[in-house]
Amino acid sequence: MYQKQYEQITDALVNDGYVVITDALEKKLPSALLNEAKNEQDFKRAGISGLGDLHLDSNRRRDKIHWLSRSADAQASFLDFASGLQEYLNKELYLGLSYYESHFAIYDKGAFYEKHLDSFKNSKNRVVTTVYYLNEDWTDNDGGELVVYDEDDNFLAKVKPDANTLIVFMSEKFPHEVLPAKRKRYSIAGWFRIDKV
């Protein structure tokens, strides 16, 4: 179903290390996922990892998260897409990705996430990052953009969190940040990993 997207992502990871795709997945999927996220049941404040611990730090990160599972239809459909992408990346790029984890992320008004890397160099855990947006009728005035930088901290892209936009990038190469949202913002963040579950 998503062969074209898998090819586009793979080529972009080889050539540029990242890709932004609008109208990425099945058209009804973002609104179905948004409905599942909006109940906010079991969402928890997201933590910051550092020196082997996980702690809350409102000066650096202010989103709430809930890990995806196959217990809901839309989440299962999204995870099916990710499973196919994992298989394709392993076949074409020999990445040895062993599993995928992902969570809903809700940014309330004023919430942000400061510039960070998803994986430290040579840490061999998170290899490929995905971010998928669920926000309908998002305007330029609503903020909450994802800003992506290269390894030398040069600006690369500012991505508006429009529904059905997908960003994929190599986890250890691209620092990124979420600018403050001016209204509630919904997304799914995910990582293909090579360590054991």
Asked if 168 and 97 touch (Cβ cutoff 8 Å), the reply is no
How many C-alpha atoms does 27 have within 13 Å on its Cβ side? 0
Parse the chain into domains and list their residue ranges. 3-193
> Which CATH fold would you assign to the domain 3-193?
Jelly Rolls (2.60.120)
Q: pLDDT tens across 127-153, in order?
A: 999 999 999 999 999 999 999 999 999
C-alpha distances out from residue 71 to 67, 76, 123, Å: 11, 7, 31
Whether the per-residue pLDDT at 50 is higher than 60: the answer is: no
Q: Would you say 180 and 141 are in contact if contact means Cβ atoms under 8 Å apart?
A: no
Token representation of residue 139: 């305007």
Query: Which is it for strands 48-50 and 53-55: parallel, antiparallel or unpaired?
Result: antiparallel
Mean pLDDT of the chain: 92
